[in-house]
Structure 1
Amino acid sequence: MTHPKIVFIGAGSVVFTQGLLADLFAFPELRNAHIALHDIDAERLATAEAAARYIARERGADARVTAHADRRESLAGADFVINIVQVGMGESTRTDFDVPARHGVRQTIGDTLGIGGVFRALRTFPFLKRLGEDIAELCPDAWLLNYTNPMAMNVQYLTEATGLTKVVGLCHSVYWTMRDLAELVGVPYEEITYRAAGVNHQAWVLRFEHRGADLYPRLDELIASDEQLRRRVRVDMYRRLGYYPTETSEHSSEYVPWYLHHDSEIERLRLPVGAYLGIVDENVAEYHRTRDALAAGDPLTVEGTMEYAPQIIHSMVTGTPRTVYGNVPNRGLIDNLPAHGVVEVPCLVDAAGIRPIRAGALPPQLAALNRTYLSMNDLVVRAALDDEPRHIRHAAMTDPATAATLTVEQIWRLCDDMVRAHADLLQPSLRVTLAD
Structure 2
Amino acid sequence: MTKPEYQPVTIAYIGGGSLNWAPGLMADLAADDRLAAEVRLYDLDAGAAQRNAAMGARFAEVSTGQAARYSVAGSLAEALRGADVVVVSILPGRFEDMAQDIGIPARYGIPQAVGDTVGPGGFVRAMRAIPMLAEIGAAIGEHAPNAYVCNLTNPMSVLTGALFAAFPGIRAWGECHEVTKLRKQVAWIANRAAGAEVATHRDVAVNVMGVNHFTFVDRISLGGRNMMPAYRAFVEEFADAGWTAQPVDPEDEHSRYFEDRSRVKFDLTRRFGIAAAAGDRHLVEFLPADQYLHDPAGWDFGLTPVDYRLRDQAEKAARATALADGTASPVAKRSDEALIDQIAALMGGGAHLSNVNLPNTGQVENLPIGAVVETNALFSGLGVQAVHAGRLPDALAAITADHADRQSALLKAVLAGEAGALFPLFHADPLVAPLEEAKARAMFSEMVAATSAWLPETLRGAA
Pick the TM interval, shorter chain. over 0.9
> Given the alignment, which residue of 313, 336, 339 partners 2:343?
313
In the TM superposition, residue 2 of structure 1 has moved relative to its aligned partner by 4.8
The alpha-carbon distance between structure 1 residues 15 and 156, as it changes in their structure 2 partners (threshold 3 A), is: closer
1:326 and 2:345 are equivalent in the alignment: no
**1-structure distance, mates of 2:314, 2:178:** 23
Gaps of 5+ in 1: none
Give the residue type in structure 1 aligned to 2:274: Y
Counterpart of 1:202, as a letter, is: F
2:158 matches 1:153? yes
Report the TM-score when normalising by structure 1. Answer: 0.92
Q: 1:212 to 1:132 in 2, by over 3 A?
A: closer
| Paired residues of 1:36 and 1:65 also in contact (CA < 8 A) | yes
> Which shifted more, 49-58 or 128-137?
128-137
Deviation at 1:433, TM superposition (A): 4.7
Deviations 1:79-120 (A, max 9, x none): 110000112131221121112222221101011101111111
> How big is the shift at 1:72?
1.5
Q: Choose the corresponding residue for 1:352, options 372, 382, 404.
A: 382
Q: Is residue 335 of structure 1 aligned with residue 346 of structure 2?
A: no
Partner of 1:221: 233
1:114 corresponding residue in structure 2 = 119
Residue 59 of structure 2, aligned match among 38, 55, 62: 55
Relative distance call for 1:233 and 1:215 in structure 2 (3 A) is same
| Cα shift readout 1:193-243 (whole Å, capped 9, x = no counterpart) | 421111111111111244555434333434434431287211111111111
Residues 277-292 of structure 1: matches in 2 within 5 Å? 277-292=307-322
Change beyond 3 A, Cα 1:414–1:379: farther
Residue identity opposite 1:341 in structure 2: A
Aligned partners of 2:62 and 2:330 also within 8 Å: no
CA contact (8 A) 2:286 2:430 kept: yes
Within 2, Cα distance between the matches of 1:139 and 1:192? Answer: 35
Matches of 1:219 and 1:296, distance apart in 2? 45
Aligned to 1:207: 219
Percentage of identical aligned residues: 27
Letter in 2 for 1:418: M
**Map of 1:418 onto structure 2:** 447
Q: Which of 43, 46, 50 does residue 42 from structure 1 map onto?
A: 46
Superposed CA RMSD: 2.2
CA drift of 1:57 comes to 1.0
Count of residue correspondences: 431
Aligned to 1:86, which of 69, 91, 96?
91
- Greater Cα offset, 135-144 or 210-219: 210-219
Q: Report matched runs for 1:231-246 at 5 Å.
A: 232-246=263-277
**What secondary structure does 2:34 align onto?**
helix
Supply the AA of the counterpart residue of 1:159.
F
Q: Relative to structure 1, is the Cα distance of residues 238 and 259 closer, same or farther in structure 2, using a 3 angstrom cutoff? A: farther
Match of 1:375 among 392, 405, 412: 405
Distance between the aligned counterparts of 2:56 and 2:12, measured in 1? 12
Point out the structure with the larger helix share. Answer: 1
Checking the alignment, whether the CA contact within 8 Å between 2:378 and 2:385 is kept in structure 1 is yes
The residue type equivalent to 2:50 in the other structure is: A
Is the contact made by 2:131 and 2:415 (CA closer than 8 Å) also made in structure 1? Answer: no
Among residues 387, 392, 399, which one is paired with 1:362 in the alignment? 392
Normalising by structure 2, we get a TM-score of 0.87
Which residue type is aligned with residue 380 of structure 1?
Answer: L
Contact 2:29 2:63 in 1 (8 A): no
Counterpart for residue 167 of structure 1: 172
Paired letter, 1:195: N
Partner Cα distance (2:336, 2:440) in 1: 40
Q: Is 1:194 aligned with 2:224?
A: no
Deviation of 1:153 (Å): 0.5
Where does residue 253 of structure 1 map in the other structure? 284
Other structure's SS at 1:94 match: helix
Q: 1:210 to 1:87 in 2, by over 3 A?
A: closer
Deviation track 1:393-419 (CA, whole Å, cap 9, x = no partner) reads 122222112223x22221111111111
Contact 1:109 1:276 in 2 (8 A): no
Does the CA contact (< 8 Å) of 1:322 and 1:350 recur in 2?
A: yes
* 2:42 equivalent to 1:25: no
> Gaps (5+ residues) in structure 2?
1-5, 194-198, 244-260
Cα 1:313–1:210 shift into 2, 3 Å: closer
Residue type at the aligned position of 2:438: E
